[in-house]
Structure 1
């Protein structure tokens, strides 16, 4: 009897080992696919059409584990610079020792990938799910990972495929891009699926046939700087940075610019003395019809210290715009003694030199939701300002640029970008 029982259990054991091997192969394939798409879609690939492979593979993989592996490896590979960025940023400001900063960066790198992958794992359709189930699950997972609260870290969104397929179509293009993602997640079913793909391809061809991208306004100049990290610990360093920026602005205007754009936070935390230092230059700009767009931090309260990561328009123009989402943990730290505050997402675009300007401040370059207004009403120009002294040599800087270029292309407007390294 014992021999017979062992004989009967042998096929069951073989089947178990075979199932484990199959699950392992499934997960390995998912990991390779996630990494490959991250490389092909973002720096150095820069081919966003490959993002369609993610929902296609997601819907066809067996089990939630493989679906999770697909997306977590995609986000890990795409955001691969986070540990180095955290190490440089927090040690640069002497907030953490190098080992602790690196450990913190590794933890955040893992957590962001898990948080963005979870909606896709939870909403993974079963093998017997209908086509409509695949569709709405793909749509819901995309929205959850792109919009707040999860979308506060909603970088590398597959929605960037829309700007490749339907450039210039703004909100309609986003809707069609979402439809393309959902179609990729739906298993082929003649004739409905193939007819949908044909319609989406035809509309994409029409979008590419339409008007070419517009040029930036004449006389507008975005100035890149190489001033590094700003030491704001003393008035001599504040004054030195101010004189450097004044010289850069004067050179830009002397070269023929009527509107000069300097990077985000390049002037640091605005002190009363800086108003005095800039007064003569601003008066000269006003008299000459010149406008300076400059990034600075403006204090809103001193205890606890709260400030806005802002754009200030000076000279012949005037205005102010606050970042709608400062970098989480690095700048935006709710409850801490020092923190940037979030500006309203309903801030109107600025009118500068007769042009309606949509602004994107540093971290916002990576997110879709702060830019909802330009998807509804086309601005004249998108101005991006960044201060990447800690990542200028990393892939993150290129990915950030690709992301804001994608959004400007979606709106069908020219992009001017000023960065500091």
Structure 2
């Protein structure tokens, strides 16, 4: 009786450890997240399954309260509230689909994985264990994703020790032979340390500084230079003319973040600028829910907030290259990268503006996630972040 009473405690404790370690931002520790389905399956009651799910998800997303407090220059309470609200989908799905029936449990867990990978619930499908596929099966592509999915289903059966041993073998082999994704030829990502001023300081001098940065990095033989999310601030005809004129007599193309605004709201975009023209290259499919994407505004006849383009523009064309853009939040969820991989792009372009994450592991987790997907599908990867 005493054993049964305290059995949930170690399950919950280990789920918290799995969330912390697996989502620490260290790429080779991502497979630690595979412990979650084992713990979920070993729960004796639905209530314990809920606590295990909450422990894992809240631990994995532990940087959110501090990040929100920094972004809004507030205390921790708004961030804590958002943190708890964000866990509702993950915990609710895994609680509802938990079952004692071992024969159907793998299919229930498969349903949970799918629900948390695609909209609408996948909109906040952070910390998805399937992300570890890139570490376990680098270069396997869709076969690696299928193997990881099948293995995750196996982890909720009585055969979980054998599946775990197999996963551990692939993990150790990958760790022993690990190399990061390579930078695509002719591309260079520029990391900036401009803090909250990037995208907010729209002075001519700031634009001149960014243009100079692009030109300096272009001198080394990289004609494609990537700048972080929101680097240009508002994308206007005046900004377009300034940049196009400044890049005259160069072979450089700048791929950079910006914001386009109209009466209904705004788009978080990437633009491509060269000596001959400039165009909006990509509109973010999934902005950050709550702080950027606020669909409830339309319910009350209000405008504002970032638009979510969900399944639009998964691939962009840049000369002879086809890229899969991932802006900031899109690196933390599953469906944007999988949708892009369906079109077999030549490279992944990952940008972000993470000044508000200082003191957390959020940017490191974004890097780890993007690297994992790039390794799984054997794609070159270019990063550009502001901190």
Give 1:172 shift: 2.3
- After TM superposition, the runs of 4+ consecutive aligned structure 1 residues lying more than 4 A away are 196-214, 316-319
1:277 aligns to what?
Answer: 242
Q: Please give the alpha-carbon distance, in whole angstroms, between the structure 2 residues aligned to 1:163 and 1:226.
A: 29
The match for 1:65 is: 47
Deviation of 1:141 after TM superposition, in Å, equals 1.2
Given that 1:368 and 1:407 are in contact with CA atoms closer than 8 Å, whether structure 2 keeps it comes out as: no
CA-to-aligned-CA distance 1:158-201 (integer Å, 9 cap, x gap): 11122222222222222211101000101139xxx95x789888
Contact kept, 8 Å, 1:27 with 1:66, in 2: the verdict is yes
Aligned-residue CA RMSD in angstroms? 2.9
Q: Which residue of 1 aligns with 2:66?
A: 84
> In the alignment, is residue 326 of structure 1 matched against residue 278 of structure 2?
no
Structure number with the bigger relative contact order (C-alpha 8 A, sep ≥ 6) is 2
How high is the TM-score relative to the length of structure 1? 0.82
1:178-189 alignment runs, 5 A limit: 178-188=149-159
The answer (yes or no) to whether the contact 2:68–2:78 under 8 Å persists in 1 is yes
SS in structure 2 of the partner of residue 283 of structure 1: coil
* Residues 29 and 90 of structure 1: CA distance in aligned 2, closer, same or farther (over 3 Å): same
Match of 1:220 among 187, 200, 207: 187
CA contact (8 A) 2:191 2:386 kept: yes
287, 294, 315: which is aligned to 2:256? Answer: 294
Report the Cα distance in structure 2 between the residues aligned to 1:143 and 1:405, rounded to whole angstroms: 22
State the structure with more CA Rg: 1
Q: Map 1:131-170; keep pairs closer than 5 Å.
A: 131=103, 133-170=104-141
Distance 1:45 1:401, change over 3 A: closer
Q: Deviations over 1:116-140 (max 9, x none)?
A: 11211111121xx133x11101111
TM-score, normalised on structure 2? 0.89
- C-alpha deviation, 1:374, in angstroms: 3.7
- Deviation at 1:403? 1.1
Structure holding more helix per residue:
1
Deviation of 1:213 after TM superposition, in Å, equals 7.1
Describe how 1:5-404 pairs up with structure 2 within 5 A.
18=1, 22-23=4-5, 25-43=6-24, 46=27, 47-91=29-73, 98-99=74-75, 102-126=76-100, 129-131=101-103, 133-188=104-159, 215-230=182-197, 237-284=202-249, 288-299=250-261, 301-302=262-263, 304=264, 306-315=265-274, 319=279, 320-334=281-295, 335=297, 336-404=302-370
Q: Using the TM superposition, name which of 27-36 and 314-323 deviates more.
A: 314-323
With over 3 angstroms needed to count, the CA separation of the structure-2 counterparts of 1:180 and 1:89, relative to structure 1, is same
Unaligned runs of 5+ in 1: 1-17, 92-97
SS at structure 2 position matched to 1:339? coil
5+ residue gaps, structure 2, are none
Structure 1 residues 372 and 232, CA, compared in 2 at 3 Å: closer, same or farther? closer
